[in-house]
Amino acid sequence: MTAKLPALSLQWDVFCRVIDNFGDIGVCWRLVAQLAARGQRVRLWVDDASALQWMAPEGCTGVDVRPWHAPPPGADEPPPDVMVEAFGCEIAPEFIAYSARQASARGPKHPRPVWINLEYLSAEGYVERTHGLPSPILSGPAAGWTRWFFYPGFTPATGGLLRESDLMARREAFDRDAWRADHRTAFALGEDAPGTRWASLFCYEPAALPELLQRCEAEPTRLLVTPGRPAAAVRAALQGRDGNAGQAAPQCSSTQHGQLSISYLPHRPQPAFDAMLWACDFNAVRGEDSLVRALWAGQALVWHIYPQHDNAHHDKLHAFLDWLQAPASLRRFHATWNGLDTAPLQWPDDATLAEWTLCIQHARSRLLTQDSLVTQLLGFVTEKR
């Protein structure tokens, strides 16, 4: 059942601190853009907006990006109806004090802002237990208010996943052959050999990466390497091999290693990142945002989960694979890719890759029966107001 949406356009203030790798700002930008597409007014407060220059170069109508330390809104601007702190970033005390003053000036008949802590994505059982729970504010200018925990997730008992209303229609209309032809032209590549696999690489520094590259060299493969840490990891894995292969290759360049063609990609806007995932037969992704986008892509994937010093990410990975109903071969690949074991990396044959793809598509079908995160968030705010 679709959640009831607010009748009016509300003022949302979304707060984001960029920890590393731009995953936080990637999720937050998709959130604010989708809120704006639903007719909401949004201010995004962020401590490092530099990634938006390539992630969202055209901006978004209805979204106002502001520096984290900018002063609170002026007297001629609307105060917040909703405050969202992403990933526990803790809203600046000055903004909380401002919001409390504005709420007091509005009077008791006007709803207080709905204060939401948007949490990290996980398939672990605690997510269903804690999604939507209140956290009373006991001190400070907002004493007596309530902050609500909102958990993204993979099941109907969670807050769902970010998904644009037209995403599946755009996915269905995507012309993979045309995209691949454009890529070959841009990188001055020849035609594909029969049976060529296309794979994307967005990872940290997996220990199994050199083995993956070696296996890809033995069969026709186009590997699309995203910039930053993935490109550096590939260059390090190739260091000392194939002459100068370990030297830094510029963006928008390609190198050949046996039957493996490597394309070093530039930074790209979020819609172009989605298109890359749609164009590939296999996607290696990392973090939160790219995992969700790879699920919507419906192609075989491996998730490089963010490593934690206490190995808490192991349980998180197993919980995701359980929800995914991953076959044994995909579980083994994830274990090796994430360094949970040192077993040889089992690069899939065609039948196994098809099994992985079918697994992802079945999982996507389950997700599509659930309301998106923004739909649920709008309904949640309506209820709390």
Do residue 191 and residue 258 come from a single domain? yes
pLDDT of residue 154: 98
Do residue 84 and residue 211 come from a single domain? no
What is the identity of the amino acid at 130?
T
Q: Which of 25, 121, 27 is nearest to 313 (CA)?
A: 121
In a domain, 328, yes or no: yes
Helix (H) or strand (E) holding 321: helix 312-324
pLDDT of residue 195: 96
* SS3 of residue 246 by DSSP: coil
Q: What is the dihedral of CA 40, 276, 355, 155, to 10 degrees?
A: -10
pLDDT of residue 116: 98
pLDDT of residue 1: 41
Supply the DSSP string of 96-144, one letter for each residue: HHHHHHHHHHH-TTSPPPEEEEE-----SHHHHHHTT-EEE--SSTTTT
The structure tokens listed for 33 are 């853009």
In a domain, 1, yes or no: no
Domain CATH code at residue 108: 3.40.50
Over the chain (385 residues), what is each successive 10-residue block's mean pLDDT?
A: 60 93 90 98 96 96 97 95 95 95 88 96 97 96 96 98 98 98 96 97 95 97 96 91 59 92 97 98 96 98 88 90 98 97 95 98 98 98 94
Do residue 29 and residue 117 come from a single domain? yes
In a domain, 106, yes or no: yes
Calpha distance 381→385 (Å, rounded): 6
The H helix count followed by the E strand count for the chain is 14, 13
Do residue 362 and residue 375 come from a single domain? no
pLDDT of residue 113: 96
Do residue 240 and residue 127 come from a single domain? no
- Residue 311: give the domain boundaries: 167-368
In a domain, 4, yes or no: no
Do residue 84 and residue 214 come from a single domain? no
First vs last C-alpha separation in the chain? 20
In a domain, 109, yes or no: yes
Q: Which residues contact 182 (CB under 8 A, 6 or more apart)?
A: none
* Count of residues making up the chain: 385
Q: What residues pair up with 200 in beta bridges, in sequence order?
A: 224, 283
Calpha distance 23→286 (Å, rounded): 9
338-342 long-range contacts, CB within 8 A, separation 24+: 338/206, 338/303, 338/304, 338/305, 338/307, 338/313, 339/206, 339/207, 339/208, 339/307, 340/314, 342/207
Do residue 183 and residue 152 come from a single domain? no
pLDDT of residue 2: 46
Do residue 232 and residue 362 come from a single domain? yes
Supply the DSSP string of 6-19, one letter for each residue: PSSPPEEEEEE---
55-58 long-range contacts, CB within 8 A, separation 24+: 55/22, 55/25, 55/26, 55/29, 55/267, 55/269, 55/270, 56/29, 56/269, 56/270, 57/269, 58/269
Domain CATH code at residue 348: 3.40.50.2000
Domain count, the chain: 2
> What residues are labeled active site?
24, 288
DSSP label at 188? T
- Residues 244-274: tens digit of each pLDDT: 444 566 778 999 999 999 999 999 999 999 9
Do residue 278 and residue 309 come from a single domain? yes
Do residue 347 and residue 264 come from a single domain? yes
Do residue 310 and residue 356 come from a single domain? yes
